[in-house]
Structure 1
């Protein structure tokens, strides 16, 4: 729950009142795979050097340990930056929040997007990420490319459905009406709604609120066909007859 509240507070800082959230995702974990792998490899090298190198040249081992410490600091910074990066699409614009120390926001109005495509390299197809490219009527925009997008097929369809004003079967619009980071609960149906509707007694299961005697007196019950009578001759008033 705490992570959900931080997420909503982060987005609510930049989104406008009335904006409907279409999608909001962190960039793919593959973005930080290299610094994490480098730190792990540096640890292995430092341990190997500490065991194998002769004590007379222990300065080399010390240098390697300091190098590993630098890799750990680099990894920590890039992971923290990745955790604060967001790619957000609303019904009005596309946004990219990035930067850990210096916070930056790139934006493109959704109405100016004339073309949108995404690319998936071989590693991206294996790991499940892609790259979005937006075009905007020959104008240079602050947001043109978004890399490391997870589940690109799903998010591409959701954004294109919003651009063209259609409904996608796999898209889920995120409700922005939260309070203190908690999404609103689904409305509870009223069990008494429509209890006095006469149509409930015709062709439907018996209601808990309609007794058999009420159903028998119900005007909506089946009364059979209405008979057709021949028209009667009009009556003549003798006082109005002409002499």
Structure 2
């Protein structure tokens, strides 16, 4: 049993599980391409430059180390952050979990939700993403950014919270 199924209570039904929208990964992928291109160009230049073999080797090692540090910091870390961020709706609650080394989470019981809103600009509308805003009974509104298909999630959550017909959870 994988996440989030292993966090559900007995008889709790999973309705929706999402990671942040892929747009959060565009800059890390761009950084990977730029870093790799720069490293290949620097390594190529060092091989063709008029310098000793030991200087060329040292420069290659430095370029490789800088490339590795850059890839870990600008690509791998954001990918891990994306993969460990979960937005989950069940028939009983809304869960949000994020973090790599230190995990943070919040659960909002369906019975405590007062208002469900969404917001998205032109670019977000094109990419079918946006911000979901949930107001609970006694807390400030919580904003969840980069939720894929935010209008669908908004509608689904609204029906889970405010549907009086009781026909059970909606599936997506």
Give TM-score, length-normalised by structure 1.
0.58
Q: CA RMSD in A?
A: 2.6
Q: What CA distance in whole angstroms lies between the structure 1 residues aligned with 2:14 and 2:26?
A: 29
- Which is higher, the Rg of structure 1 or of structure 2? 1
| Offset of residue 18 of structure 1 | 1.9
Which of 14, 33, 39 does residue 40 from structure 1 map onto? 33
Gaps of 5+ in 2: none
1:198-234 C-alpha deviation (Å, 9 max, x unpaired) = xxxxxxxxxxxxxxxxxxxxxxxxxxxxxxxxxxxxx
| Offset of residue 20 of structure 1 | 2.4
In structure 1, what is the equivalent of residue 68 of structure 2?
69
In structure 1, what is the equivalent of residue 87 of structure 2?
87
| Matched residue SS, 1:94 | strand
Find out whether 1:165 has 2:158 as its counterpart. no
Contact 1:39–1:68 (Cα < 8 Å) also in 2? no
**Aligned 1:18-29 pairs, distance under 5 A:** 18-29=11-22
1:149-198 C-alpha deviation (Å, 9 max, x unpaired) = 1111211110011111157xxx8427xxxxxxxxxxxxxxxxxxxxxxxx
Contact 1:116–1:135 (Cα < 8 Å) also in 2? yes
In structure 2, what is the equivalent of residue 115 of structure 1?
115
| Matched residue SS, 2:171 | coil
Greater than 6 Å deviation, 4+ residue runs:
none
In structure 2, what is the equivalent of residue 185 of structure 1?
none
| Matched residue SS, 1:9 | coil
Contact 2:25–2:79 (Cα < 8 Å) also in 1? yes
Q: What CA distance in whole angstroms lies between the structure 2 residues aligned with 1:139 and 1:29?
A: 29
In structure 1, what is the equivalent of residue 4 of structure 2?
11
In structure 1, what is the equivalent of residue 42 of structure 2?
49
Gaps of 5+ in 1: 1-7, 175-243
Give TM-score, length-normalised by structure 2.
0.78
Contact 2:160–2:170 (Cα < 8 Å) also in 1? no
Q: What CA distance in whole angstroms lies between the structure 1 residues aligned with 2:38 and 2:100?
A: 30
Q: What CA distance in whole angstroms lies between the structure 1 residues aligned with 2:115 and 2:86?
A: 22
| Offset of residue 61 of structure 1 | 6.1
| Offset of residue 14 of structure 1 | 1.4
- Of Structure 1 and Structure 2, the greater helix share is in 2
Paired positions, count: 162
